[in-house]
Amino acid sequence: MSGKKQIWYLEGSAAEKLAAPLRTRYDLRPVSQNKKGALRGAEATGNGVPTVWLADMKASGKVLQARAREGRSKYRIIGIFPANGNSSAKARRARSSNDRSSVFAFLPSNAPRNIVEKTLEAAFENIDLVERDRAGRRTVKTWEREREELNEIGVALSSQREIGALLTLILSKTREITAADAGSLYLVEQDSQGQHLRFMLTQNDSLEFPYQEFVLPMAENSMAGYTALRGEVLNFPDAYKIPAGHPFRFNNSYDRDSGYHTRSLLTLPMRNAKGEVLGVLQLINCKRNRAARLLSAKDVAKYVQPFRERSVRLALSLASQAAVAYENRKLYNEIETLLEGFVSAAVTAIEQRDPTTSGHSLRVSAYTQSLAAAVNATSSGPYAGTFFDAEQLKEIRYAALLHDFGKVGVREEVLVKAKKLYPLQLDVLRQRFDYIRKETEAGNVRRKLQVYLEHDRGDALSEIARLSEDFDQRLKRIEEYLQFIIEANEPTLLEQHQFQKLREIAQQSFLDPRGIERPYLNPGEIKLLSIPKGSLDPSERLEIESHVIHTFNFLSQIPWTKSLQKVPEIARAHHEKLNGTGYPYKLRGDQIPLPTKMMTICDIFDALTASDRPYKRAVPIPRALSILEDCVRASELDPDLFRVFHEEKIYERVMPPTAE
């Protein structure tokens, strides 16, 4: 075949004369017609070569037009009509709307050569234009399909949160898009020794073969190392026939050990946006038919082909998307680790502030997590349809861990106050009573001396005996007062008669070293010792209660991610009660977030059962549950959440740590 553009015409027709002078420029193809009108030689028409039929409209026009309509794209018809008197009528007929769609142009049989040439050029140009337009459309369609495919994969990659699953997805999607039977993924790792490659995973459609992670040196003597170092694509139609001159060889140990047959091999870098190579993808055996399994050398010969340019392009594009997704995921994990570290440092800070409640935050968090999981699993009651997803569980966990963080804003002496008086106050009070004792003794000695000086011996002795008796009684009373104060200082319930006794002591006075009369108890001490129950007076209680506000203020400063945005809101309501008797906002019912309702049950339970408060005995679990039941009856706690807490024995799922 000449490869020249072809001109076809009916042998002996008027078109032959028009075509003859163009012999040097075009490949002329006369076609003969038998008696029945069938054409011989016309089947070969086209054959990929642009062709123009000079169709004698009188003889062959209809047949040729019919052939043209078969859809041969590189094919045009120029209709030739006789140049006699009837020509205009025939031409009109030929140019009817039916024909126009398949005939490119019309020429009279006596058309001058230059007109014939120009018309032919226009016809071939038209073929070329249409061809290019079609090819362009095909390319655009392919690109669009590929872009959609890559977009879909990109979405899948960016939504995968777990690194292991992400790497699996990267490899499987790259294999899918390149029709690779098998593949492996390596990651570039950095440690104190420098960089190396970690073989992370392998996939194989045809064969299951156990593998283990291993580490490869970052060196050019392996294909993965070469690609990782140079960032170059390696594409070999046959791994066993790698051209000489490369620093690496194909490592056939996998084939040897598994019986697999590697043929075509593509090694690609996974580059991030900065162009750094984060990993390497190795794809093996590009299959003609994705479903084929390669179980023998024969299968490989039948189904495996080299990786084509399109596969390389797509795989490279996917590999860089994968690198970005992997890098983002790593970054996300690092941020999560950072947040975890920050939260655990914050928890340590709270526990150090008040060692007597050590472990409380961790236990409340663990109880609340367990309760949330139990609520997820419950199939009855109003929470049957409630489900906390992984993100919400994390939000609950952080809120529970940090619920008491605001205690760092409460004065330490108030925070750890175990008795009504502060330890220093009791010390001062004891020293005051020591002084009172000594002062009483000194007064007694002074009085006795005076008696000696003012009375004769007989009278003096009896007066001194009376003074001694009086002194003993006064000392006894002072001792009694002190003992009473020490007892009243305990955070237990104060009885009515004890208030009276306190008033009695308060009315006693002594002379200080400067001779000024002072009361046994100052107003501040009386106020604290008069606390009817517990160790805190109303202002101290308010200060302790303010920890919730401090918690909220502190947590609100943190720019939580969208999924953790409710942490401050959940944490700040942990002392609210359903009936509005809680603090500090006196929220009611649904004003309290559901996670908080769970946390409150766990918080109270731990406060009751924790055994690490020196001033407060741990309450046994049955007693703690019955106290919680009382709270439920008083409409303070959610009855359905408590039912889950009780029935699922949440308190047993987390063993409270024993005090050290």
Residue bearing tokens 């009573």? 433
Residue 443: both structure tokens together: 């007064």
Pick the piece of the chain touching Fe ion (CB under 5 A) from 276-284, 400-408, 438-446, 488-496: 400-408
For the bound state, the minimum distance from the C-beta of residue 360 to Fe ion, rounded and expressed in Å, comes to 6
Q: Collapsing DSSP states into helix, strand and coil, what is residue 585? A: coil
The 8-class DSSP code of residue 275 comes to S
Closer CB to Fe ion, 271 or 407, in the complex: 407
Closest CA to 181 of 95, 258, 102: 258
Q: Collapsing DSSP states into helix, strand and coil, what is residue 245? A: coil
Per DSSP bridges, beta strands 194-204 and 214-217 are: antiparallel
In whole angstroms, what is the distance from residue 255 CA to residue 202 CA? 13
Interacting positions 61-120 with Fe ion (CB under 5 A): none
Q: Are 29 and 50 in contact (CB under 8 A)?
A: no
Closest CA to 629 of 613, 645, 616: 645
Q: Applying CB under 5 A, which of residues 205, 351, 404, 525 lies at the interface with Fe ion?
A: 404
- Give helix 163-178 / helix 309-353 axis angle, nearest 10°: 170
Closer CB to Fe ion, 197 or 573, in the complex: 573
Pick the piece of the chain touching Fe ion (CB under 5 A) from 180-188, 396-404, 505-513, 635-643: 396-404
For the bound state, the minimum distance from the C-beta of residue 407 to Fe ion, rounded and expressed in Å, comes to 7
Closer CB to Fe ion, 76 or 363, in the complex: 363
For the bound state, the minimum distance from the C-beta of residue 340 to Fe ion, rounded and expressed in Å, comes to 20
Closer CB to Fe ion, 540 or 603, in the complex: 603
Burial, 20: exposed, middle or buried (Cβ in 10 Å; 0-12, 13-18, 19+)?
Answer: exposed
Closer CB to Fe ion, 67 or 403, in the complex: 403
Closest CA to 341 of 393, 400, 401: 401
**Pattern 29-68, binding to Fe ion, x per CB under 5 A?**
----------------------------------------
Pick the piece of the chain touching Fe ion (CB under 5 A) from 110-118, 126-134, 526-534, 597-605: 597-605
Residue 450: both structure tokens together: 């005076």
For the bound state, the minimum distance from the C-beta of residue 658 to Fe ion, rounded and expressed in Å, comes to 19
Pick the piece of the chain touching Fe ion (CB under 5 A) from 96-104, 430-438, 583-591, 603-611: 603-611
For the bound state, the minimum distance from the C-beta of residue 361 to Fe ion, rounded and expressed in Å, comes to 7
Which residues make Cβ contacts (< 8 Å) with residue 350, sequence separation at least 6?
361, 404, 405, 407, 408
Closer CB to Fe ion, 104 or 405, in the complex: 405
Pick the piece of the chain touching Fe ion (CB under 5 A) from 134-142, 320-328, 404-412, 423-431: 404-412
Q: Are 319 and 271 in contact (CB under 8 A)?
A: yes
Interface with Fe ion includes 351 (CB under 5 A)? no
Closer CB to Fe ion, 206 or 596, in the complex: 596
In whole angstroms, what is the distance from residue 587 CA to residue 634 CA? 15
For the bound state, the minimum distance from the C-beta of residue 574 to Fe ion, rounded and expressed in Å, comes to 6
Query: What are the C-alpha distances in Å from 557 to residues 19, 51, 423, 552, 554?
Result: 89, 77, 35, 9, 5
Position 225: which residue type? G
Closer CB to Fe ion, 160 or 357, in the complex: 357
For the bound state, the minimum distance from the C-beta of residue 559 to Fe ion, rounded and expressed in Å, comes to 24
For the bound state, the minimum distance from the C-beta of residue 610 to Fe ion, rounded and expressed in Å, comes to 10
Closer CB to Fe ion, 30 or 534, in the complex: 534
Q: Applying CB under 5 A, which of residues 56, 603, 636, 638 lies at the interface with Fe ion?
A: 603
In whole angstroms, what is the distance from residue 583 CA to residue 586 CA? 5
Per DSSP bridges, beta strands 6-10 and 51-56 are: parallel
Closer CB to Fe ion, 205 or 603, in the complex: 603
**Pattern 352-391, binding to Fe ion, x per CB under 5 A?**
----------------------------------------
Q: How remote is the C-alpha of 510 from its chain's centroid? A: 71
Pick the piece of the chain touching Fe ion (CB under 5 A) from 402-410, 538-546, 552-560, 618-626: 402-410
Q: Collapsing DSSP states into helix, strand and coil, what is residue 82? A: coil
Residue bearing tokens 């004065």? 411
β partners of residue 52 = 7, 76
Closer CB to Fe ion, 173 or 572, in the complex: 572
Q: How many residues bind Fe ion (CB under 5 A)?
A: 2
For the bound state, the minimum distance from the C-beta of residue 353 to Fe ion, rounded and expressed in Å, comes to 13
For the bound state, the minimum distance from the C-beta of residue 540 to Fe ion, rounded and expressed in Å, comes to 15
For the bound state, the minimum distance from the C-beta of residue 342 to Fe ion, rounded and expressed in Å, comes to 20
List contacts with Fe ion (CB under 5 A). Answer: 404, 603
